[in-house]
Structures are given as C-alpha cells and as structure tokens.
Structure 1
C-alpha cells in the first residue's frame, strides 16, 4: 500500500463550478481575474432583523442549469449546486465513456448540508414555529434526504455511475480541502482510478445568519455590500457569507495520460492539524496552520522556496488574517515576503465548506493560465499583515506550485499543494 502511494500520482482533469457571479468555470475565472465582487444585500429572504445583511449569492436558475422539475423539487439547493458542478467537471474531463464503475468513487464535502430545505420544512411541520411537537404529516417525502448530507453523495454516485468508494467529509470550513485530499489518497492507495470530488454549500438562510451574528464573525458593513469583505485591510470587520460548489475529476496520473486527458494540475501534498484550543478562537502565532503547511510541503517533497502562490483563507476577521500572516512567516520563512498571496473570499464571499473547493479551482486555473487573482477591496493594508496580498488587480505570473490553506471553527487547519503536472518530479 505504501509503495502505491509513492508511485501513483493524482491529477485534476476536470473542473466544474457554481459560484457567485456566474455558473460555470469560465464566468468564475473571469470574475476573479477582473477583481469584481459578487457581494450584495441578501435577497434569498428578508434580512432586515439581522446584524449582517450582506452575502455573495449565486444567480442560479436550476432549469437553465439543466435540472428537471422533479430534481428541483426533490433536491436542496446544496445538492442542486453539487450536481451541476459535478456534471460540468465530468464533461470537462471527457472521462465518462471509459469509466470502470468499480474503480470510480465519489467524495462530497459540506459544512452545513441541506440547510435551506431543513429551515423551510421545519417552518412547515412546526406551523411557523408555533408547535413544539411538530406534525410530520405536513413534511415533504424528501425530508429525510435533507436531514442526511450523504444523500448528496448518493446522487453524485448515481450521476457518475460510481460503484467504488463513496462518502462525505464535513470538517466545517476546511471541508473543501479535506475532501479533495481524501479522494486523492484513495487513488494513491489503489482503491480507485477516478474520483469525483468536491464540496457544496448553500446555507444563506435565517438560521445560518443568526449563528454568525451571535459571534459577530460576519461583516455589518450593510451600506457598502460590494466592498464589505476586506481581507488583510485595516478596516476589515468580518466576512461576507457566500454559497456555491466546485467539483473535480481526479485521476491516477497514468490513467489520465493513457487516454490523453488534459491535466490542470497535480495534487502533490496535503496535511491537516487541529489547534485543540477554541471553537472559534485562533492563536496569533499561527503555529498549527504553519505545521499543516510544512506537512503538506514535506509530503509533496518541496521546499518553502518552491511555492509560487498562496491562496489564503483570508476571511477578513481580525484574528484570522493575523493568524495566517504569522503562519506563512513560520512555515515559509523569508520566502513569505516575496510570495504573492491573495484571498478570493473578497470577491465571492465565504461559502463555508464549499469555499476551499472553489479555492482549489482557483489554484488549478492560476497554474493553467499564469494569472494570480487579486484580493479585492484591499485599499488600506493592515500593518500587521505585511505580505504581498496582490491588492485589487490580477497579476500575470507563471505559477508552477500553488499552496491553498484553510482555518475552520473547531480549530481545523488544512493545507494542500497543487503543482503543474510533473513540476515536482
């Protein structure tokens, strides 16, 4: 098993995206490289009673995206996003005709599961919250599916015809990294040749907004929604919620090359840590995240000086941005000061479990196109955040090695390294 892990590489051959600002990988990349923001006043429900009333919503028409009316009725918005993104990834990879069902698997990541449908259906069965003993007679037949995040993985397995390993990863805001890394390990371990892997969250709902209002993690900059998310800026005051999905076709390297597949990038290394410190707090020294970065580089057999770009967690909370800056300095040393770093949450918000998958998509496209997305809204850099955060405007630069990192509530810290195919051999 260990020998297989050393010799079996894992590459990305398909990408599919549903994101604020556009459905599909092309509009997603166009928005990022233009430095446009998709944050606005929440329109999915009336947010008037809440402290934070801005978010990055997807302009998503499920019919236009190819879903049938029965699917729309049965699936929560999170599952709809996942199926549409996964369908694009499969088509982009061109792998579908030659799939061996027994050697194909699915891993789906999510932080919140089917939040919107659960929220709406609870209102129905409780008579708008008036009844403590709810009336199940008024629940839809799909209520149990909404309760189980694994129902999304099931739909994706049916979509791909996958009869190999299928599962769910839910580690909060690091889910999108962790799920891709787990899928890659299944390929390295010889359990599958092809994995459909990614994450989806559509959690812009009253209960979610209330949760983040309670801990004051989201921005109250309601009068300026377009510039509300300001990672690494002196005036930052919290993140803007987002929603979306990104899925990938991962293949064993030789499997992809034999069929002449286009390869976006290789999944070269990954590591995760937990700070065992606080549900929502972070130590300023960033040592747990730094340890994850070092572990990911070690697994990729790369040195800190090999990193060409860092896709930051960049949530725009005071403590996260300080924590990350310290982590980059601890793990990359002097190279941290000359390495471009940016946060796409400044443009598409923080879509919880899905955001890291979207950030992996951004890293793969950065390697593909030699363009680094900017950090939008960064007009007044915080003196405590003194690295090169690529403010406002995208930068043309060759990137052979990209690092993407994440911090999640509960103390989760994850790092993943993507390389241009063959760059680390």
Structure 2
C-alpha cells in the first residue's frame, strides 16, 4: 500500500521540531532524557487531562483511569497495557496540547473498547492496525488533532475493529501509532512467521540493553509483561464498568453527544453471537404445531396430539455493493445450512446491489444444501427496493425475508406484510423489521 492511498491529517499551523517525525510505518524519536524536563512533560499531560475532564467529561473520565508512567527507550511513542498509560517523554515533549489530548484519548479508548480482549485468533499486527483505524477517524471527526502525518482512513469511520480487520491488505507494512502491550507476546504469529525477529523486536531488545547501561533512565518504567487470561477477563469487566460510569457522568453534565453516544450504546448492550440470534429467530418460524390427525392403527385407539412441522419458504438477500466480504458470506451460508438441518426450509437466494438480475437468483429445495454461487456480481450502489419488489411479485408469499447488508441504501417506504430480518454489518439503523448485529 503506497502513501498515495493514505488520507493524512494536515494543519499548516502545527509544526514539529525537526528531531520528531511521526509517520504511520516509521517513528523516529530522539529520547535524550538529559535534555528533557520530565516534570514539565508530566505537567503537560496533567493539564491536557484536566481540560478533557472539563470539556469532554466522558473522555476525560476514561483518561483518568490510566495512571501516567514515563517509559524507557522501549516505548517509541505511547503505549498501554490496559492498566497504565506509558509515554516516551521525548515524543510527548514535542507535541502541542491538542495532539497530547489525541494521544491520551487514543490509549484510553483501546482500553474502554476492550481491544485487549477481542483479538481472538486474528493476526496481532493486522488487529493492532484495525484497532487504530477504528479510533483515529472517530477522534478527528470529534475535532481532536492527531500527530502530524498519522494515517487517517476516513473510509473506516463508524466501523469497529472486527469489521475493519478483513478489509486490511495482508501486505500492509505500516505500523500502529502506539504499542499495544496487553498481548505483546514475542511468540506471536508475526514473530514466528519466518523463524526470526521482527524489526520492532530488535528495537525492543536494543532498548533494554540501553536502559541497563543508562543510569539516568532509572526512574523510567520498564516494559510490562503481557496480560494473563485471568487479567484480561478481570480488566474487560472493569473497563466495561468504566465505560458505563463515564457515560453517566457525562450525561449528568449534559456533555455526551456525537459519535460517542452510538459507540456507548453499542458496547454496553448485551453481546450475543449473531449465529445464536439467527438460530433463535428462525426457530420461531418452524411452524411446529400439535396435530390431532388419526395416527396409524399400530399406535392404539387413543388419539393423542403429536408435534408436526410444515415447510417454510425463506428468501435470503445478500447485499453485493462491495461492503460484505466473501469470507463473511461463506460464514453466513454455513450458518443457514446448519439451521436448514433442523427445520424444513426452501430457500430463494438473491444477490442484489442496485438491481436484481435473473442470473443472480437461485432456488434451493428443503432437502438440498445451500451452496455459494461462483460469483455474486455486484459492486455498485445499494438499493433494497428491487428485492422486495421481486418477493412481492411471487405467487407464494415468503415466510420470512433475511437481508444480509450494511444497511446503507434506499429502503422501501412501507413495511411488507411478511417478517423481515436484517443482518447488519456496521452501526446503521433500519426503519422497520428485526435487526441483528453482524459482528
């Protein structure tokens, strides 16, 4: 990915000293402690936190949850282990007050959004970038100034890290703005990929050696150890409570608005997997009912109620405007097949961006397996109306319509008579129907 692909923050009124250069894939800091007033740097951080408490109490309260710790040369810019805020004094010394606020909030949001507990089996490097790309556009939109030349991908605005991760090119060579220490394990997949060490590992080792030989850095914090599974669980619960209490504090002060309102609602609502929600929803359409039809003679003379199931006719529409990846569609198809094994359901599969084509409509009987077509086409804008027009024109009414989308498109003006379930990737709302978050 070339620099021309980036959207950078630019402000001609903010200039850095020549000794500091902040770039997405390379950060060069002259961290000479003898020339830096550590007390003055801490005062700068404290001042920025105080202003945040007064102006942005929600964010300020989150920032206050992280104790400030000046770090040794292992810390290139700033870092967090979900317990403390670590900073390179040379880096903070060269930032203005606006940029300091950005860095403080950036680390606090990593913790408040529990990025440290959500990586799962994802590659650490790509996950770290996804977390940064989720936070930075949000802060810029809220008016905060990032360090110069920090990549700001506005196309990720309003998306969470899990949604951004599959959109990042595997070959991207940029580095996160900060260090995410909570799972900074030297045995991570990225370190073991070629049997050697990554460049940042070599820098860390060199930094440790320098710290041992530098008596002036004895007051600086050492690099903390990665979190244990128990610590991750405890901190995840703690930060969820911090998020809720910070939101309540800001609401009482009348200073909670903007994108953070939607973000808080999303992360504080009970989290269930979309697979389980989909299964529960579809089970309600199985049409199981008791029948008093006369049984066979072998059953005896008594007529007892028995449970019978009728076939349901499902319509599944997939938004092919480009926002849904093939891996996500594959997972969705797998889940539908699992549901089909438990209930009798015929399926009409429709691929649609801004129109419906006959070659992009497939029929699957109840006894057949739902398979992924070779190509779904698409890539244009999103219009939901053609799918509803097609369903409404059928001779047999659909039992339910399931729409797999990011919900960014034109909706029908009126809600149809049959139930509609939206599996939504992203935070967009729907005007009617049953919405399930797809993450």
Q: Which has the higher contact order (CA 8 A, sep 6+)?
A: 1
Q: Work out whether the TM-score is over 0.5.
A: no
TM-score normalized with structure 2 length: 0.27
User: Which has more radius of gyration?
Assistant: 2
More strand by share: 1
